[in-house]
Chain A
Amino acid sequence: MNSSSNLINALFIFVLAGFIGFEVIRRVSPLLHTPLMSLTNALDAIAVVGAIVLVGEHQSTLSTVFGFIAVVAATSNIVGGFLITDRMLKMFKSSRPAAKPAAKSVGK
C-alpha cells in the first residue's frame, strides 16, 4: 500500500536527480575535474544522516557499532572533502587581472 507509492516516489526522485546531475556535471570545466570529484565525495557523505539515526536509536549493539563506525567514516569524508576542495579551488588563479607577460616583446 503505502510502501509501493513510496517506492514510485523514490524512483521518480532518483531518475530526475540523475538527470539534473548529468546536465549540471556535463558543464563542469575539465579544469576542475579533481575538485569536482572531492566535492561530490563530500556531498555523498550525506549518508552520515542514516548512520546518525542508527547510532542514536540504539536498537541493537550491532547496529550501534556499525552506525558508529559509519558516522566516523562519513564525517571524515565531509570534513576532509570540503577542506581539500577549498584548498584546491583557492589555487586556481587567472592571469587576466594582471594582464601581463606574454604580450610584451622581447626586451632584452
Chain B
Amino acid sequence: MTTDLAGGQVIIEILYLIASVLFILSLKWMSSPTTARHGIWAGEIGMLLAICGTLLHHGIVDYKLIFIALVLGTIIGVPLGEVAMTAVPQRTALSHAFGALCVTLVGSAEFYLRAPDISRFMMAVLSLEVILGGLTVTGSLMAAGKLQEILPQRPLTYKGQNLVNFLLLAGALAIAVTLVRHPEARSLFPFMILIALTFGVLLIIPIGGADMPTVISLLNGYAGLSAAAMGFVLDSKLLIIAGALDGSSGLILSIIMSKAMNRSFTNVLFGAFGQVQAAAAAGEEARPVRSATPEEAAAILSAANRVIVVPGYGMAVAQAQHKVRELYDALSKRGVDVRFAIHPVAGRMPGHMNVLLAEADIPYDRLIEMEEINGDFPQTDVALVIGANDVTNPAARSDASSPIYGMPILDVDKAHTVMVIKRSMNPGFAGIDNPLYYLDNTLMLFGDAKAFVGSIVRELTGGHG
C-alpha cells in the first residue's frame, strides 16, 4: 500500500508507535514491585510523546484553548492523585467515569460532525463507543458515590429489575441499529446516550459493597473497550492499542475477582451481580460465643510462634492499618513470625489490602496470596481476623445451602486459635451468618479494629519493654 503521508504525518505516526511500545513495556514492568516504577516512567514518556505528536497535527488551528484545557485538567488531576490511600477505590471509580466521559463526548462530537455521511460500520462502532462510554460514566459515578458513602451501600433490588435493565439495553441497541441504517435520523442520537446513561445508574443500584472489586474491574474493562472503539472511529492505532490493553486488563481482573467470589464470568459480564438475596434470616438461636479482652489476646499472641493476620474491609474502614503495623513490629520483635493472608476480593477493589498494608510500611514479602498461604493455617498458632467476614466463612466449604457456597475462602478455622476482631455479632454485608464465630477454637474480640489492635500493642510493649 503506498498511501502518501505528508512528512509531518509520518513523524506523528512514528511518535505514536513509540508511545504504543512504551505503553506495553509499562504494563510489562508492572509484573514485579522491583521493576514497577520503571513502568510509570515508560508510561509517562509515552504519554508525553503522544501528546506532543498530536499537537503537530496539521488540522489544529487553535492552540490556546487546548492549553487552557490541559492546564485545567492538571489542576483537577493533582488533588485526585493526592487522595488518601483509603480513598483509592472511589478515586479509581471516579477516574473510570472521567475516562468514559472523554470517550463519550468525543464520540458524540464526531457523530454530529460526520452524520449523515458515515459508513454503516463506522456508525455501529460509534454507537458501541458511546453506549459503553455512557453507561460507564454513570455506572462509575454511582460506584464512586457508594464507595464514598454518599449513596447507600446496601444493594437496592426491586421486582422485574433485570427485565427493566434488559429492555433499556435493547432500546439503546434498537436506536443504534436504526442509526446504522438511517444515519440521517440525527435526532435519535441523544436518546441513545440518555438510555446508556440511565442504564449505567440502574446497573449499579443492585450492587453492594462486597461486589465492588468485580464491578470496578468490569467498569475498567468497559472504559477500555469504549476507548478502543473510539480508536476505530478516529482511525487511531495508538488509541486502539491503549484501549485493548486497558480492556484486557479490566477483563482479566474481572475474571479473577468473579472466580474469587465463585460467580461465573458470564454472570458478571451481564451485570447480574448482587443476586445473593439475603439468606432468610435463620431463626435467631443465640448460640454461645467465646470472647476475650485485649490482655488475653496479647498473651495468646505473644505465646505464639506463627501468626497469620487476615485483613478485610473492616480494617480499611477503621483505618487500623498503622496500628496493625505496630502489632506486626511488636510481635516480630518477640520472634513471632507474622504474615498476612490476602484474599483476592478483600476490600473494595483488586489489591486494596496490599496497598493499605504497604502504606503502613509492612514489607510486601509478608503479604501472601490466598492459594499460597491456605496450606499453612493448620501449622499456624493464631489466625487474627481484622475486619474480614465472608472471605473466612467456612460455610463456603461445607454448607451447600449457603449463598456463598463454593466461594474460595481463607481456611482460618484450621489454625489452632482464631481471633476475630469485630464490632458486634451483626452479620456481614451479605447478611450471611458466619459459623466461624461459634467454633471452639475461636475467640471474639469485640470492639473497633483500630482501638482494639492499639490496646493489644500497648499490652505487648508495656509488658516486656
Residues of A participating in the B interface, judged by any CB pair closer than 8 Å: 2-3, 5-7, 9-10, 13-14, 17-18, 20-22, 24-60, 62-64, 66-96, 101-102, 104-108
Contact = CB atoms under 8 A, between A and B. Distances in A.
Contact of A39 (B24, B26, B335, B364): B26
B13 interface: no
Interface of B: 1, 3, 19, 23-24, 26-28, 30-34, 36-37, 39-40, 43-44, 46-47, 50-51, 53-55, 57, 59-63, 65-66, 68-70, 72-74, 76-83, 85, 88, 91-92, 95-96, 98-99, 101-103, 105-106, 108-110, 112-113, 119, 121, 216-217, 220, 223-224, 227-228, 230-232, 234-250, 252-253, 256, 332-335, 337-338, 342, 344, 349-352, 354-355, 358-359, 361, 363-367, 369, 464
Contacts of B36: 32, 35, 89, 92
Contacts, number: 380
B248 A34 contact: no
Contacts of B82: 83-84, 87
A47 B227 contact: yes
A63 B367 contact: no
A29 to B, nearest CB: 6
Contacts of A44: 99, 223-224, 227, 242-243, 246
Contacts of B230: 47, 50
A63 to B, nearest CB: 4
B346 to A, nearest CB: 11
B239 A42 contact: no
Contact of B106 (A37, A54, A80, A107): A54
Given A14-B232, A66-B106, A73 B66 contact: no
Contacts of A86: 37, 40
Given A40-B250, A77-B95, A89-B40, A53 B78 contact: no
B464 A49 contact: no
A81 B37 contact: no
Nearest to B63: A56
A6 B249 CA distance: 26
Nearest to A21: B248
B241 to A, nearest CB: 4
24 contacts: A14-B244, A17-B240, A20-B24, A27-B31, A32-B30, A32-B351, A35-B355, A41-B95, A41-B99, A41-B223, A43-B246, A45-B47, A46-B23, A46-B47, A47-B102, A49-B239, A50-B236, A59-B113, A67-B106, A72-B73, A75-B74, A79-B74, A83-B81, A93-B358
